[in-house]
Copies of this chain bind each other. A is one copy, B any other.
């Protein structure tokens, strides 16, 4: 999906919400466990319930890989289901991959050819030749880790380097020489609040994928205040706060309610910033 289509979807749906499909077999409602593929049954219900309120889905690969072959099947069915039924949804494989060139090329093949998702999250530690193989697929995106939402983001990402920038700033600056803002986004955690203005100073146009609203405590208002651009430039993810809103029979309705609540806040914010 190219940037124009993504932005049109955001405007049309008045939402920049991404629903994180971090589906843990140990947390899904008991009545689904009799299903042949409980993870897919859960995802299908969540997707049908939340699709009106979001523009993107983000399965986190860890939650599928831990079930081995069965998990891989659940993942593939989930992606296929979204593509077949909600082709306007942007699909992000949250995989945080990155390896030497010939290996990254294979990961790119996995995500952009085999699974055929729109975007994949990539870790920057190994540098340019670990990222470049993911680029050059038309309509596909790299989402590079910049400043993550977790406590450990302070261990290395915030280190000051000898050119005066912090590591995450050098990641953003250098990676913009590899790719343009129509093919690369950055992960910036909602928990990082005012850092968004520092990031907008060096990446004024890039889309940011923002995890950490909800369960991790980030503020949507703050993210928008410091991070929004004239074409929105934000995809805000919520996983646990939506998909585990209820552990009962009503889990899908509860998920829809939480997604609608966030979408409603987003509509007001988009309106306030004259984007819709």
- In the complex, whether A101 has a CB less than 8 A from a CB of chain B is yes
A63: which B residues are within 8 A, CB to CB? 103, 106
- In the complex, whether A171 has a CB less than 8 A from a CB of chain B is yes
Nearest chain-B residue to A178 (Cβ)?
B155
Interface with B: A38-46, A142-150, A193-201, which one?
A142-150
Q: Are B66 and A69 in contact (CB under 8 A)?
A: no
- Bound together, the chains give a CA A159 to CA B156 distance in angstroms of 12
Q: Are B156 and A167 in contact (CB under 8 A)?
A: yes
Min distance, Cβ A159 to any Cβ of chain B, angstroms? 5
Min distance, Cβ A106 to any Cβ of chain B, angstroms? 4
Chain A, interface size category, equals 35 or more
Interfacial residues of chain A within 13-63, with CB under 8 A of chain B in the complex: 22, 24, 60, 62-63
Q: Are A123 and B98 in contact (CB under 8 A)?
A: yes
- Bound together, the chains give a CA A216 to CA B63 distance in angstroms of 34
Interface with B: A125-133, A221-229, A250-258, which one?
A125-133
- In the complex, whether A174 has a CB less than 8 A from a CB of chain B is yes
- Bound together, the chains give a CA A216 to CA B96 distance in angstroms of 24
Min distance, Cβ A212 to any Cβ of chain B, angstroms? 9
Q: Are B66 and A110 in contact (CB under 8 A)?
A: yes
- In the complex, whether A104 has a CB less than 8 A from a CB of chain B is yes
Min distance, Cβ A3 to any Cβ of chain B, angstroms? 25
Q: Are A127 and B101 in contact (CB under 8 A)?
A: no
- In the complex, whether A230 has a CB less than 8 A from a CB of chain B is no
- In the complex, whether A271 has a CB less than 8 A from a CB of chain B is no
Q: Are B62 and A68 in contact (CB under 8 A)?
A: no
